[in-house]
Chains A and B, each alone.
Chain A
């Protein structure tokens, strides 16, 4: 997997709460068997009219936010469906970091599997960062996963926290299936014990 260390880029403000995964990537675009190519339809119904023309008010249709790599969004980002197409679509557009006051659990997990960083910050810090992003003359933020800081356009820094294992995986670009398979002996031992205690889990499922 790719690594995530430092990301410096344009941050787009999206001051909406409960942005759900149906909004990030509507269902018609789930009919793909690939992970790539979804950037052109990310936020489809917010971003485009039915005739395919752009909605000029939508932030990612405006300069400089067409080149955004960071999103500053409202509470409970990514709620709803578990579709990993949501982070895939954001990533394919170029967004690798989302900053919000809170995230829905499944979306949050999905980000780390795709070398994307969801950053949770407090309300006051979030307001500052949203205002920074809203300044289209200089909406540039720097997110440093090693130092666990966000550097604002004026140079001030905001600290954030993240789970140690996940940070490590992003920094090193680790393949977690490979890591787990290194513990195959423990999985074998678990199955041996469980199949004695609950044999029905091993004999009566799908034949």
Chain B
């Protein structure tokens, strides 16, 4: 009998085109997503070498990073942003690649629209020149970010040259406590593993805590796998996965759907399969999480305080912490709930899906954003925006004092005009609290959508459980 395999082993093995003597693998890529920021140089490379896109039917492009979240019919004001978005359209036309442009009703953040359209499917390999490609692993797809040159390689050959990463299992076998979401779970995991803890590995998330999550929650978890250093996260597909995908425009239909589901049901790790590493976390210990520093690993429960560099184990870590605290303008020992905020951002490929908007709206209903807080929400796609409006969520946000915007990457990284001003402090549902990420000298605290809504209402970081109804 064949030796037991992990889910990762199965997907990897089914995509090997060739293995060279030195172990380098040519790996087949089933799905290639593109956005305007990290693709222009890949198309330029093809053009210079006179090469074509091998499989346009397996490639999908969308403009998301530079697009304004205000009225788009006015076009893009910034000339560089405009050129980048126009260049994507020109490249896609020239190479005959399908594209959702800025005004397409299906436009949205690349990692939101892939699953939404059924372009992302279980058991596939998915790449995009974007590190948050890890999101698609929620569907049991091996999905990872690549560089632009690698993107050019995929466009030309539909393959990547790579070597097999190691496999890690993150096991959380008990249910999440009330008030905790996929975001709190993944932040707690990153806090435990460290921002380089998963380097060189693919992470499979196993256990009840992940099974209980909706597809939206699983996407949030998988999305931030890269913040723990691992390029891809995986959740074995189950009925929730299939229910989510059924009937999506690019998902298989009819008899093909039945055949696909039969195959997808085989996509799970065998009993006794061996992982290179294992991390086990007790979900019972998790409280809503918030970051205090400038790396996603700088995380504490909302019930905690700003940590003291003196308590760090190494001098390098003490130095890094002092630098972070200086940037963040925080003093060790300050309770996190004493930290006042200026901005709230609900959006990004991490937390902008319908469930995220519903969770935030539940907190906001009948409440008002604190007078000094500037709050905005940018739905993950135009389709989600429409759905939220049909449910009346837009009215809840607007009544509370939020700005209700169009979809895009927006204030997660501020390539469009949505930025946090220097020295201002933002409770954000995005994925990175790096120096300068949301704007030069901007200070970011990563939280779940409900936590962001709670912070908007009180004007400071807040334990959402105190506002829950």
Contacts and interface: CB of A to CB of B under 8 A. Distances in A.
Contacts, number: 206
26 contacts: A16-B319, A16-B320, A17-B317, A22-B435, A32-B84, A75-B196, A79-B195, A83-B38, A84-B129, A84-B147, A105-B199, A105-B200, A110-B150, A163-B22, A163-B163, A176-B153, A177-B152, A183-B18, A187-B54, A187-B157, A187-B158, A187-B159, A191-B28, A199-B256, A204-B253, A205-B250
B285 interface: no
Interface in A72-86: 74-76, 79-84
B237 to A, nearest CB: 14
Interface string B66-102: 1000000000001011011001000000000010000
B119 interface: yes
Contacts of A190: 17, 28
A191 to B, nearest CB: 8
Interface stretch (A23-31, A51-59, A148-156): A23-31
Interface in B253-272: 253, 256-257, 259-260, 263
Interface string B411-424: 00111000000100
Interface of A: 15-18, 20, 22-23, 26-28, 30-35, 45, 50, 74-76, 79-84, 87, 102-106, 109-110, 113-114, 163-165, 176-177, 179-181, 183-184, 186-187, 190-191, 194, 197-207
Contacts of B308: none
A199 B259 CA distance: 9
Contacts of B263: 197-198
B436 to A, nearest CB: 5
A163 B162 CA distance: 11
B21 to A, nearest CB: 9
A74 B316 contact: yes
A83 B415 CA distance: 13
B229 A204 contact: no
B280 interface: no
Contact of B147 (A28, A110, A203): A110
Interface string B3-29: 000000000000001101011101010
Question: When A and B form their complex, which 3 residue pairs have the shortest distance between CB atoms, in order from nearest?
Answer: A113-B149, A200-B252, A31-B80
B458 interface: no
Interface stretch (B56-64, B332-340, B349-357): B56-64
B18 to A, nearest CB: 5
A100 B434 CA distance: 20
Contacts of B146: 82, 106, 109
Interface string B430-450: 001011110010000000000
Given A106-B145, A205-B250, A33 B159 contact: no
B30 interface: yes
Given A22-B437, A109-B147, A176-B153, A33 B256 contact: no
Interface residues on B, range: 35 or more
B196 A82 contact: no
B436 A26 contact: yes
B414 A198 contact: no
Contact of B260 (A30, A87, A180, A200): A200
Contact of A176 (B161, B295, B323): B161
A197 B30 CA distance: 13
A32 B80 contact: yes
B330 interface: no
Contacts of A114: 149
B150 A109 contact: yes
B40 interface: yes
B240 interface: no
Given A27-B414, A113-B149, A190-B17, A201 B231 contact: no
A28 B37 CA distance: 11
Interface in B221-273: 229, 231, 250-253, 256-257, 259-260, 263
B131 interface: yes
Given A106-B145, A177-B153, A206-B119, A82 B38 contact: yes
A51 B44 CA distance: 34
Given A23-B436, A104-B196, A106-B145, A79 B28 contact: no
Given A22-B432, A45-B440, A198-B263, A82 B161 contact: no
Contacts of B138: none
Contacts of A106: 131, 145-147, 231
Contact of B415 (A31, A74, A207): A31
Given A30-B415, A35-B41, A204-B256, A183 B87 contact: no
B124 interface: yes
B89 to A, nearest CB: 12
B51 interface: yes
